[in-house]
Amino acid sequence: MDKHTQQQFAENVLQYLNDSPTAYHAVENAVRMLKDHAFQELKETKKWSLHAGGRYFVVKNHSCIIAFTVGDGDLAQEGFRIIGAHTDSPSLKIKPGACVVTPDGYVKLNVEVYGGAILSTWFDRPLAVAGRVIVEQDGRLTERLIKIDKPVCIIPNLCIHLNRDCNTNCSYNKQTDILPLLSMKVEEAEKGDYLLNLIQSETGIAKADILDYELFLYEYQKGIFMGQNEEFISAPRIDNLCMVYAGLSALTELGNSGNSFKVFAAFDHEEVGSTSAQGARSGILPHILERISKNLGLTDDAYFQALANSTSISADTAHAVHPNYSDKHDPENRPVPGGGPVIKYSAAQRYSTDAFSASYFMEACKRAHVPYQKYVNRNDIVGGSTIGPALSSLTTIPTVDIGTPVLAMHSIREFGAVADNFYTKEAFRAYYEDGGSSV
């Protein structure tokens, strides 16, 4: 696998990261990618008519997407080959009652923390605004995506002269310390209209038409390649949009070739527990799998056979060994950037990997000629979790948790290796082409 091919793929990954500041934009760009490869959109509210060789996708809440292809084989015997990821990332979400005007004349945005963000990394960064607004047009509710891609606000640090302990004993109050500065007070502006005025001036959407919004802050500075040989990526939202892009790329490159029934699912709200209608703990994936089966004429018994013959991958970034905090990691399982995708284990089932699911992913890596690594937490450190336990428990399908190794996970800028993105995509291709056999 030559460096040029890896770099080309990484450039596409970086473009996807830069173009997708929110889950809504990640799905919008995924839809564009799927349509470019002849995938047909299906609506949950409409009748479906699937056929062998078909390529389809379904969007839920504009922040979750499930794409699939109909293979030529017997679904009851072939089962599904599923890759799951998530579209959301830790961020700052703008509250209703968006603006706070202080007695000193500052206009601040009223925000809440979404997910497990490393708050210190959000200070002194130029921040932009993106998300969706709901407007009423001709008596109908319509969603409009917005991306105000300019540095409109910032969270300034308190200077060291007024905070002498900032380098030794620093913490942040989520209610009072992280409200971004938007502007200075304008006398003629109506209270609370500063944000709506900005949206109107930048997007042309009349503020009187806006019924509600879901808006997030994101770093204005784009992701870049870096390192002595540009072997690394520094960018926002590597967790988990790099996995979304790898899964989409594997699916679209292969299309509907072969007997297998390939599924790619990117859920919302993983960073806050996945408990929503578009999260991995909802019924959306089981509903879609059952609907595919019934539409293709399977009986209830054949559908359960298909589930029993299925396998799944939960794709979410993994912790690389930190160069300055190596003691935070298990002494024997120490993944590094550039070493290939990481298989994640947890006896407490925070990851869903077992010996069988790990084996079919290792076999896929071998067929793709890519390296792989393994990760498990230290016994005295409680790690995070993924969509894997939700996928396996809701569907009863064996699931392996894997991910590209990264540093600075949940920072406003995360860090990974160029090579790992390509390695993971190639492993996904090999998995889709075979998928592993049952034991």
Are 243 and 60 in contact by the 8 Å Cβ rule? The answer is no
Are 400 and 392 in contact by the 8 Å Cβ rule? The answer is no
- Digit-coded pLDDT (tens) for 60-108: 999 999 999 999 999 999 999 999 999 999 999 999 999 999 999 999 9
What the block records as the tokens of 328 is 């935070």
Please give the Cα distance from 87 to 241 (Å, whole number).
6
Residue type, 135: V
- Domains in the chain (CATH in brackets) are 3-88+236-433 (3.40.630.10), 91-219 (2.30.250.10)
- Digit-coded pLDDT (tens) for 28-52: 999 999 999 999 999 999 999 999 9
Please give the Cα distance from 239 to 79 (Å, whole number).
29
Please give the Cα distance from 259 to 262 (Å, whole number).
9
Quote the pLDDT of residue 439.
54
What the block records as the tokens of 25 is 């934009």
Distance of alpha carbon 82 from the chain centroid: 16
Distances (CA, A) of 389 to 51, 87, 273, 344: 31, 17, 11, 12
User: Comparing C-alpha atoms, which of 399, 341, 408, 349 is closest to residue 375?
Assistant: 341
Task: Tell whether pTM > 0.85.
Answer: yes
- Digit-coded pLDDT (tens) for 183-239: 999 876 555 589 999 999 999 999 999 999 999 999 999 999 999 999 999 999 999
Please give the Cα distance from 215 to 366 (Å, whole number).
43
Backbone angles phi, psi at 262, to 5 degrees: -95, 135
Inform me whether the pLDDT recorded for 137 exceeds 70.
yes
